[in-house]
Amino acid sequence: MATSKLLASTLRRTLTTSSSFRRFSTAAAEAVALASEPEDSMIIKGVKISSRPLYLDMQATSPVDPRVLDAMLPYYLARYGNPHSRTHLYGWESDQAVETARSQIADLIGASPKEIVFTSGATESNNISVKGVMKFYKEKKRHVVTTQTEHKCVLDSCRHLQQEGFEVTYLPVGNDGIVDLEKLKGSIRPDTGLVSVMAVNNEIGVIQPMEEIGEICKELNVPFHTDAAQALGKIPIDVDKWNVSLMSLSGHKIYGPKGVGALYMRRRPRIRVEPQMNGGGQERGIRSGTVPTPLVVGMGAACELAKKEMEYDDKRIRALHERMLNGVRAKLDGVVVNGSVERRYAGNLNLSFAYVEGESLLMGLKDVAVSSGSACTSASLEPSYVLRALGVDEDMAHTSIRFGIGRFTTEEEIDRAIELTVQQVEKLREMSPLYEMVKEGIDIKQIQWAQH
C-alpha cells in the first residue's frame, strides 16, 4: 500500500511540474492537457467546436469513476503480474485481485463468483451465449427466439446461426417496446435451444418483464439469455428471480474501463457452451486469453460502487430526467417520448421532435454530445430499426435524439442542454414549410404529394 501511494504521489508531482506531461496516458495528464488547450481552437472532423461539449451519451459509454481509477492504478504500476503465473508473488496478488473482482460482480447480480467468466465486453459475451449454446446443443436444439429490438451483436449472431442452418424467430414488440409474453410463449418449440431478450434496451431504455420471461422459460425448460449491459448497476438484478441461464455484462457502461466485460453462466442447472476462442484454457476454457487484471479490478470496483450507490443514483437521475423532459416540453410542442414511459430506465431519454430532421438537429447540437436514433450510412439514411419495430412513423423515427443521463450529470448541464435543444429545434422549424402548414391548421397526412 505504501509503495503504491509513493508511486501515485511521484506521478502526480511529475505530471503537474513537468512540461512533458503529454507523454503520460493518465487521467491527470489528460486533465492538465485539456485545461491548457485554447477554447476556440478545437476543430474535429471538419467541425469547429468552441469548447468541449456537455456529455449526454451515457448509453454509448460512461466516464470512469475516479474511485475506479484509483483501484486500477496499482495493477498498472506495481502489481503488474500475470494472474495465471502460479510461481511467484506478482502472479498470486494479481490472481487474488481478479478473484475479488469476480466476487464483486457476482454480488451485484446475486450470483456465485464461480458463475462469472471474464470477457472483453458484452459483445463477446453475447456471441459466446448465442452461438456457444446453440453449437453445443446442435444435435437436438435448432431454434432460437429473440426480439426485433436486440442489440446488433445479438441479431448478427442469430443471422450467423441462420446461415449455418439454425432457425430464428424474431419477435415483434408493442408500441411501447415491450415484448408480448403470450407471443413469446407461443413461439417456443420442442427444439428451441435459447431465448434471448435484452433487459434494458440501449436505444430507448425500455425494461423488459424479466421475471415473467424467466418463468416462461423455466416452465418450458428453455435456457434464457439476457444482454444486461445497460441494466447492470442501474436497476436491481437477481439472477435467480429472473431465472436467467446466461447474462452478458459490460464494464464501461457502469463507470468502469472499456475493454472488459463478463458472462454469468448458471451452474445449477448447468448451462454449457462451445468456446468461441481457442487458447490457453483460461476462464475454465470458456474464454482463453490472459485476464487483464487492471481492467477486471476496475469492473469489480465499479460494481461494488454501483451496489452502494444505486438507490441514490436512481433517485438523482430520475429527477434530472424529469427536469429535462419537462423543460423541453414547456417550450416545444410535438415532442414524443419513444418507448414505454412507465417501464424504462430514467437515464435514457429518447425523444422525437416533429417537423425536424434528426441529423440536422444533431449537427446543430455541437455543444451537446448526444446520439441520434437514426442509423446513418454513406449510401442511405435509414431510421433506427428499434424505432421501426415500435411502429414509429418514419418521419418521426428520423427525428429521434437519445439523451443519456448519468452519475456525474449536473442540473446546470441539463438546463444548458434544454436551452440549446430548444434553440436548435425552433431554428429548424422556422425553415420547415411543413411546420408552417401545421400551424395554419393543415393536416399534412391528408395531403397527396405529387411525384416528379
Per the annotation, the verdict on 376 as an active-site residue is yes
Nearest one of 141, 208, 142, 143 to 173, comparing CA atoms: 208
Within 13 Å, how many C-alpha atoms sit on residue 433's CB side?
A: 0
Q: Which three cell numbers stand for residue 100?
A: 475479488
Q: How many CB atoms lie within 10 A of CB 83?
A: 23
Determine phi and psi for 250, rounding to 5 degrees. -130, 145
Rounded Cα–Cα distance for residues 343 and 97 (Å): 37
The one-letter code for the residue type at 428 is: L
Q: CA quadruple 315, 318, 320, 322: dihedral positive or negative?
A: negative
Per-residue HEC secondary structure of 290-319 comes to CCCHHHHHHHHHHHHHHHHHHHHHHHHHHH
Residue with cell 454513406: 378
Instruction: Compute CA distances 129 → 112, 213, 337, 395, whole Å.
Output: 18, 17, 32, 36
State the Cα–Cα distance between residues 147 and 165, nearest whole angstrom: 19
With cell 503465473, the residue in question is 85
The Cα 423–Cα 171 span in angstroms is 39
352 DSSP β-pair partners: 336, 400
Select from 245, 291, 289, 292 the least CA-distant residue to 271. 245
Phi and psi for 231 in degrees, rounded to 5?
Answer: -100, -30
CB neighbours of residue 346 within 10 Å? 21
Alpha-carbon distances, residue 155 vs 65, 150, 159, 172 (angstroms) = 31, 6, 6, 13
Contacts of 64 (CB under 8 A, 6+ apart): 27, 252, 255, 256, 257, 298
Out of 153, 158, 303, 376, pick the active-site residue. 376
| β-pairing verdict for 381-382 and 400-404 | unpaired
**For 302, what's the count of Cα atoms within 13 Å in the CB-facing half-sphere?**
30
DSSP 128-158: IIIIIHHHHTTTT--EEEEETTS-HHHHHHH
Q: Catalytic residue numbers?
A: 376
